[in-house]
Structure 1
Amino acid sequence: MRIDIEDLHVSYARRTVVAGARLVAAEGEITGLVGPNGSGKSTLLRTVYRHLRPTAGRVLLGGTDLHTLSPLRSARHVAALPQERGGDFELTVREIVAMGRIPYKRPFAGEDDTDRESVARALAGVGMSAAADRRFTTLSGGERQRVLLARAFAQDPEVLVLDEPTNHLDVRHQVDLLVLLRAQRRTTLVSLHDLNAAASVCDRLHVLHDGAVVASGPPRAVLTPEVMAEVFGVRAAVVDHPLTGDPLIAFDHRTPAPQIGRR
């Protein structure tokens, strides 16, 4: 299912955080949001998983204004892994992941075979099957991240919205997660700080700066030395990754970027 974001404006605390953003997350593709801290990535994603309502503009889910749908109906289409995780849960890992099945259940209804299969598949997908009976509070930060991702998978959404999903993960589990996202082939809208990860996993990137989309396109067309200098404030060269052929951004950690175009 396709996501269209049309002329999106989001303001709070008397400050405009997203200003006229336009972008598309095509069906079955991984669409990445990149940009410096404070550029509006998380705020934009929060409008897609309905944590925030736009000040102006629309988020369309398969052509329908997302905010005209009931929370239950939208939850059957869109699952999110936000940065804000809430408090600790005094529940087992399996119970946390089973929460992803709530949009499909009548009040007070118990689990059925479909629920149990979905939960087991989601846990296996993130490598947490062996921890199913552990308390969520006993897990490391990276393990908690994988469990919450499994909860989103158990929701069986058509659209995944992921805000910095590789946070707290070690290198191996970052790679595993990115491989898993590619294999899912769901419509995925994801923000990433790691530009090389974004270049590897995303079909299309949108660069945000000061709340606006300033560049869009395939990673190789978007992640240029000029964008690195103007938007991110760093000197960089873009070369071919020796193992995958993806764009690889090599940062100059010794020399500040030129001030041309900097805001």
Structure 2
Amino acid sequence: MRIEIEDLTVAYHGRTVVSGVRLLALPGQITGLIGPNGSGKSTVLRTVYRHLRPESGRVLLDGADLTALPAARAARHVAALPQERGSDFELTVREVVAMGRIPYKRSFARDDDGDRRIVADSLDRVGMAEHGHRRFSALSGGERQRVLLARTLAQDPDVLVLDEPTNHLDIRHQVDLLALLRAQHRTTLVSLHDLNAAASVCDRLYVLHSGAVVASGTPADVLTPALMAEVFGVRAAVVEHPLTGDPLIAFDHRTTADVGAPVPVGPV
């Protein structure tokens, strides 16, 4: 299913934080949101998983206004991994993941064999199959992250909405998570701070700055030295990744001032 955002404007306490955003996430593709802190990435995603209502504009799921759908029906189609991730659940890992099955159940219905198989499979896919009995509150930050991702997979949605999913993960589990997202072949909308991760996993990128989309296209089209300087305020070169052929961004960690002159770009 496709997600289309039309002229989205969101305000907090009378202050506009996102204005006129248009975005298209296609079935089976990974669409990435990148931009500096405070650029509006999380705000856009929150409107997609219905945590926020827009001031104006619409979020469409295959042409249907998401805000008009009943909550349970919307939850069967869209699953979210937000940045606000509770750490005080006094539940087991298995119980947390089983929460992903709630949209498919009547009130107070117990898990059936099908639910238990889906929960077990979801834990296995994130490398937490042996931890189902543990208390969620006793996990490390990276372990919690993987459990909450398993919960979104157990929801079996058409659309995944992930806000900084690689936070708290070590490099091995970051690589595993990005590979897992690729293997899903679902409509995926994800915000990432790691631009090299975005270059490797995303089919299309939208760059937000001060609440507006300032660039969009493939990673090779978008991730340029000029954009690094203008949007992120850093000097960078963009070259071809020697292993994958994706754009690879090399940052100048010695200089943060005088970024107006782009570094020459290698072939991408």
With structure 1 as the length reference, what TM-score do the two structures score? 0.97
**Is the contact between residue 152 and residue 160 of structure 1 (CA under 8 Å) also seen in structure 2?**
yes
- Retained in 2: the 8 A contact 1:229–1:257? no
Contact 2:202 2:219 survives alignment (8 Å): yes
- In structure 2, the residue matched to 1:107 is 107
1:94 has 2:94 as partner:
yes
- 1:119 maps to 2:119: yes
Q: Report the Cα distance in structure 1 between the residues aligned to 2:258 and 2:186, rounded to whole angstroms.
A: 39
Q: Number of aligned pairs?
A: 261
Q: In structure 2, what residue type is equivalent to 1:104?
A: Y
Q: How does 1:37-76 map to 2 (within 5 A)?
A: 37-76=37-76
Cα deviation for residue 13 of structure 1 reads 1.8
Q: What amino acid does structure 2 have at the position aligned with 1:150?
A: A
Partner Cα distance (2:164, 2:149) in 1: 11
CA distance in 1, matches of 2:6, 2:254: 40
Give unpaired runs (5+ residues) of structure 2: 262-268
- Structure 1: runs of 5+ lacking an equivalent: none
Identical positions, percent: 77
Q: Secondary structure at the match of 2:42?
A: helix
Q: Given the alignment of the two structures, is residue 255 of structure 1 paired with residue 255 of structure 2, yes or no? A: yes
Match of 1:163 in 2: 163
Q: Distance in 2 between matches of 1:258 and 1:170?
A: 33
Matched residue, 1:231: 231
- Equivalent in the alignment of 2:36: 36
The question of whether the paired residues in 1 share the 8 Å contact of 2:87 and 2:136 is answered with: no
- 8 Å CA contact 2:76–2:103 kept in 1: the answer is yes
Q: Residues of 1 paired with 2:89 and 2:101: CA distance? A: 17
Counterpart-to-counterpart distance in 2, 1:22 and 1:258: 32
One-letter identity of the residue aligned with 1:134: R
Q: Summarize the alignment of residues 166-245 of structure 1 with structure 2, pairs less than 5 Å apart.
A: 166-245=166-245
Q: Please give the secondary structure, in 2, of the residue aligned with 1:133.
A: coil
Amino acid at match of 1:52: L
- Higher deviation after alignment, 45-54 or 114-123: 114-123
The equivalent of 2:15 in structure 1 is 15
1:258, CA displacement in angstroms?
Answer: 3.5
For 2:240 and 2:259, how far apart are their aligned partners in 1? Answer: 26
Partners of 1:103 and 1:16 lie apart in 2 by 33
1:108-164 deviations in Å (ceiling 9; x for gaps): 111112111110110001000000111111110000000000000000000000000
**CA-based RMSD:** 1.1
Could you say what secondary structure the match of 2:258 adopts?
Answer: coil
Pair 1:26-2:14 in alignment: no
SS of the aligned residue for 2:252 comes to: strand
Deviation at 1:256, TM superposition (A): 2.6
Distance change >3 Å, CA 160–CA 71, structure 1 → 2: same
Q: CA 1:251 to 1:259, structure 2 compared with 1: closer, same or farther past 3 Å?
A: closer
Does structure 1 retain, via aligned residues, the 8 Å contact 2:77–2:159?
Answer: yes
Q: Find the residue that maps to 1:91 and give its secondary structure.
A: coil
Cα distance in 2 for partners of 1:240, 1:50 equals 38
Deviation at 1:85, TM superposition (A): 1.1
Q: Deviations over 1:159-192 (max 9, x none)?
A: 0000000000000000000000000011000000
Cα distance in structure 2, aligned partners of 1:97 and 1:2: 25
CA distance in 2, matches of 1:52, 1:124: 32
Give the corresponding residue for 2:266: none
Contact 1:5 1:60 in 2 (8 A): yes
User: Shift of the alpha carbon at 1:75?
Assistant: 0.2
Distance 1:131 1:238 in 2: 41
